[in-house]
């Protein structure tokens, strides 16, 4: 497999209104106050178990700025990116807070359950860093918020399709609110994202986003069609992750760079595409190796859902008997099958080989950055690309 390009990769009813819906957005430039007995919002009566209400009790900006657990503090590369984009990131959070404020109670409830639970906001960070690296500042805020809304909508839809249990350390939204509500709120977030882009981007960026969203849907559908097939080809795997993940990263970087410097749109987009490929391969590795208490996701969730990702593909090359084992488990699920397959994958060199592929794409991403002007923001993008490999 070569890192030259992606195509070359071979070898509940009766809920009361959510308190967050009426919370004022955190003012741009001001750190949100810590909760105190005098300014804390009472837990809303939503019919949701009280263990899950903590993410409704604070605006989304506070959820990111003051994570509830020290272990959730961002790694150094992400923290550096936050420092360089502190003001626009606060503006993005305030904009997200306003977008999901609706008299339809499920919209703020579900949105805060997911968006307010945290996340590192990597897509907005990339967009804002690329904008600042190319001499701009501030115009990308609505597009960065749109990117996070798109990502959040796809997570809601993914959790319906995948029947996931955990997302960002809390129960996946469909397990709390049901599938129908999550699909519809995801649709709402997509509509709001498009509204922001239409109002703040030129026609070329809008058309490019339409192509990206089509590619995201195609990637997810192809993954669904190929579910349970360990004999998935590497070309098909690359097509899936380029569509469902890397395309939006690429658009974010193109959008950020092209606002102040249209000529920088292409190299920034190339960086984003390679970055997104490395990011998704890293996520696929973490499905086999991560501690769920740290990652906020179930271990082997993709495997349990029948998704064939790079570690499994490479393991099947070393252990051909895995193909029949995986496909038999998909046809007739049995208790302990995922654990057995997980152990067989980890007994091969597949995870190490997948790390090498992630490293190749991360290296390619850094090469594309050489075409952007030298700046602290470009250095931060370099650090984020290195972090993609370090985290796995």
Q: Is residue 20, in this structure, part of any structural domain at all?
A: no
CB 309 within 8 A of CB 302: yes
Number of independent structural domains in the chain: 1
- Inform me whether the pLDDT recorded for 108 exceeds 70: yes
Q: Is residue 40, in this structure, part of any structural domain at all?
A: no
Q: Is residue 111, in this structure, part of any structural domain at all?
A: yes
Quote the tokens at residue 236: 């098909």
3 DSSP assignment: S
What is the structure's pLDDT at 72? 55
**pLDDT mean over 288-307:** 71
Dihedral over Cα of 268, 274, 276, 278: its sign: negative
CA 240 to chain centre: 15
Residue with tokens 């469909």: 174
- Inform me whether the pLDDT recorded for 93 exceeds 70: yes
Q: Is residue 23, in this structure, part of any structural domain at all?
A: no
Instruction: Supply the DSSP string of 154-213, one letter for each residue.
Output: HHHHHHHHHT-SEETTEE-HHHHH-HHHHHHHHHHHHHHHHHHHHHHS-HHHHHHHHHHH
Q: What is the pLDDT of residues 207-256, one digit of tens each?
A: 999 999 999 999 999 999 888 777 788 899 999 999 999 999 999 999 99
With a CB cutoff of 8 Å and minimum separation 6, the contacts of 21 are: 100, 101, 102, 103, 105, 107, 108, 109
Q: What is the pLDDT of residues 363-384, one digit of tens each?
A: 999 999 999 999 999 999 999 9
Q: Is residue 4, in this structure, part of any structural domain at all?
A: no
Q: What are the percentages of helix, strand and coil residues in the chain, rounded to 5?
A: 70, 0, 30
- Between CA 27 and CA 217 the distance in angstroms is 35
H/E stretch holding 344 reads helix 337-346
Q: Is residue 41, in this structure, part of any structural domain at all?
A: no
- Between CA 285 and CA 309 the distance in angstroms is 8
Domain at 103, CATH number? 1.10.600.10
What is the extent of the structural domain holding 336?
Answer: 57-390
What is the structure's pLDDT at 261? 98
**pLDDT mean over 41-48:** 32
Q: Is residue 214, in this structure, part of any structural domain at all?
A: yes
Q: Is residue 316, in this structure, part of any structural domain at all?
A: yes
Stated pTM of the model: 0.81
Burial (CB < 10 A; 0-12, 13-18, 19+), residue 296, is: middle
**pLDDT mean over 16-20:** 35
Instruction: Supply the DSSP string of 55-97, one letter for each residue.
Output: GGSS-HHHHHHS-SSGGGSPPHHHHHHHHHTHHHHHHHHHHHH
Confidence of residue 162 (pLDDT cuts 50, 70, 90): confident
Buried b (16+ CB within 10 A) or exposed e, 343-372: ebbeebebbebbbebbbbbbebbbebbeeb
Q: What is the pLDDT of residues 272-288, one digit of tens each?
A: 999 999 999 999 999 89
């Amino acid at each position: 497999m070569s890192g030259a390009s992606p195509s070359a990769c071979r070898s509940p009813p009766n809920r009361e209104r959510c308190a967050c819906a009426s919370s004022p957005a955190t003012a741009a430039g001001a750190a949100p106050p810590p909760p105190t007995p005098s300014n804390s919002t009472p837990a809303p009566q939503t019919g949701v178990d009280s263990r899950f209400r903590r993410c409704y009790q604070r605006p989304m900006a506070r959820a990111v700025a003051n994570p509830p657990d020290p272990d959730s503090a961002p790694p150094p590369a992400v923290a550096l990116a936050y420092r360089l984009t502190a003001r626009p990131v606060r503006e993005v959070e305030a904009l997200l807070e306003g977008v999901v404020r609706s008299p339809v109670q499920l919209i703020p409830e579900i949105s805060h359950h997911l968006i307010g639970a945290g996340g590192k906001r990597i897509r907005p960070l990339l967009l804002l860093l690329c904008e600042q690296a190319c001499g701009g500042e501030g115009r990308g805020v609505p597009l960065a918020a749109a990117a996070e809304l798109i990502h959040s909508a796809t997570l809601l839809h993914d959790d319906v399709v995948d029947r996931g249990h955990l997302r960002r350390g809390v129960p996946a939204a469909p397990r709390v609110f049901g599938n129908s509500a999550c699909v519809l709120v995801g649709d709402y977030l997509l509509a709001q994202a498009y509204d922001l882009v239409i109002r703040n981007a030129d026609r070329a960026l809008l058309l490019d986003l339409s192509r990206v969203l089509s590619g995201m849907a195609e990637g997810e559908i192809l993954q669904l069609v190929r579910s349970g097939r360990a004999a998935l080809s590497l070309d098909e795997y690359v097509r899936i992750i380029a569509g469902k993940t890397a395309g939006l990263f690429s658009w974010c970087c193109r959008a950020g760079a092209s606002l102040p410097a249209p000529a920088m749109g292409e190299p920034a987009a190339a960086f984003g595409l390679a970055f997104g490929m490395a990011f998704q391969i890293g996520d696929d590795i973490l499905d086999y190796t991560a501690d769920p208490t740290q990652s906020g996701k179930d271990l082997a969730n993709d495997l349990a859902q029948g998704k064939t990702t790079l570690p499994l593909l490479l393991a099947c090359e070393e252990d051909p008997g895995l193909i029949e084992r995986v496909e038999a488990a998909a046809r007739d699920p049995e208790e302990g099958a995922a654990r057995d397959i997980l152990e067989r994958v980890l007994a091969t060199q597949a995870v190490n080989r997948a790390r090498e592929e992630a490293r190749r794409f991360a290296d390619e991403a850094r090469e594309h950055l050489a075409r952007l002007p030298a700046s602290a923001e470009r250095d931060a993008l370099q650090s984020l690309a290195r972090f993609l490999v370090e985290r796995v």
